[in-house]
Amino acid sequence: MARAISNNTINSRQLLSVGRLIGHKNTDILIKAMHLLPDYHLTVVGEGPELSRLKALSPSNVQFTGWISDQELTEVRARSAAFLFAAVEDFGIAPIEALAAGMPVIAYAEGGVLDYLNHQENAWLYETLCPESVAAAVRGMSAEAGPELSARCVASANIFTEELFDKRFSEWVQRHWLEWNQTRRTNFRNNLGKAKMVSIG
């Protein structure tokens, strides 16, 4: 559900991250960036095997909530100024949900997010996956935050109709199936060749 763009409850220093706490999400980079952003606060929603390690890395301005209800997540989004994302994924649902809520996305400029995130339009993108780049992007976004930015975020999320989402998802499944099938064929040929060599020997 999109928030009201003029919502006075938004905290300009409140940041949000949502997702399973596993290695390839690169949540540790976001947490390390918070050491460089002592005047900001990050709420991390999610659970996973990295939780204990991430808590050990965290400064006092990072809060872990575990998984929360949809209603609670809506309320957290309504208070947050931006969504942090450091994973490299083919699509990424969480950033789109953030845009729909009027939140700009601060993301690593790799992977499927480049299909719908545009620097300084609905996102602040960083090209180097490091805490310093994340911190710089956060401060860059803060300088431009306001109702117009939120409106652009909502508008960019609206292009993701159910039909378009189904099309993108189907393309993703087909691409990965083709990659898997090609790998399977290659492995089969290699194993067959080895078997022939053993037989000849």
Each domain of the chain, given as residue ranges in start order, spans: 14-157, 161-201
CA dist 131 to 107, 137, 184, Å?
12, 10, 38
Q: 99: closest CA among 151, 167, 169?
A: 151
What is the CATH superfamily name and number for domain 14-157?
A: Glycogen Phosphorylase B; (3.40.50.2000)
The whole-number pLDDT of residue 200 equals: 56
Q: What is the enclosing helix (H) or strand (E) of 63?
A: strand 62-66
pLDDT digits (tens, 9 = 90+) for 101-137: 999 999 999 998 998 999 999 999 999 999 999 999 9
The whole-number pLDDT of residue 140 equals: 96
How many degrees, rounded to 5, is the angle at CA 156 between CA 152 and CA 162?
A: 150
The pLDDT-based confidence of 198 (bands split at 50, 70, 90) is low
> Is the per-residue pLDDT at 1 higher than 60?
no
pLDDT digits (tens, 9 = 90+) for 12-58: 899 999 999 999 999 999 999 999 999 999 999 999 999 999 999 99
Question: Do residues 22 and 55 lie in contact, with contact meaning Cβ atoms separated by under 8 Å?
Answer: no
The whole-number pLDDT of residue 182 equals: 79
Q: 111: closest CA among 127, 124, 122?
A: 127
d(CA 201, CA 194): 11
Q: What is the enclosing helix (H) or strand (E) of 169?
A: helix 162-200
To the question of pTM greater than 0.85 for the whole model, the response is no
